[in-house]
Structure formats: structure tokens, C-alpha cells
Amino acid sequence: MIYSFKAKDDFAPTFVSDNIGRLFGYLPREYLDDANFWRVRVHPDDLPRVEAEVGDLFEQGKQAIEYRFRRSPNIASANLTAFIAG
């Protein structure tokens, strides 16, 4: 799955590939219409660590993070590999 979000303000989503449905059970619109979509679906035990590591993305320009993500209706493991696109 490929997705993007704003790098400032509310970090709202700006793009998600259609395979979000196959991988996680959500429609692209669900992701795009909710600025908090990703945040509320990261497992609550993982969220503080993941948010801190995402913050490192802006310092290092790339980041790889493994965390649990609430898949509709279950929880799945996710690996986030992020890059800053210029």
C-alpha cells in the first residue's frame, strides 16, 4: 500500500492506493476523509513509540517502523517504510 500525508499542521492524508481495502479492509475514502484515520487505528500500546519514530522521519529523511494496525475488524502487523519526497 502506498499513502501520503501532509508534513505539517494536522498531518492529514493526501493519497492512498486502492489496495488499502485488500490489506486492511478499509475504503480509500475512509482514509482520505479522516485526518485521524491512521492515528486511531495504530494499536494504542504502539502509538507513543510510533509517533516518536515518525517524528524522526523529518530529521533523517527516511524511516522504517513496525507496529500493530487495527484492520477491519481485526489487528494486523504493519511495516511502515517512509521517505520524504521533495
Percent of the chain with pLDDT over 70: 87
Name beta bridge partners: 80. Answer: 65
Which grid cell sits at 39? 492515528
The set of residues, in sequence order, having a beta carbon less than 8 Å from that of 50 and lying 6+ positions away, is 42, 65, 67, 80
pLDDT in tens, 8-42: 788 888 999 999 998 888 999 999 999 899 889 99
The whole model's pTM is what?
0.74
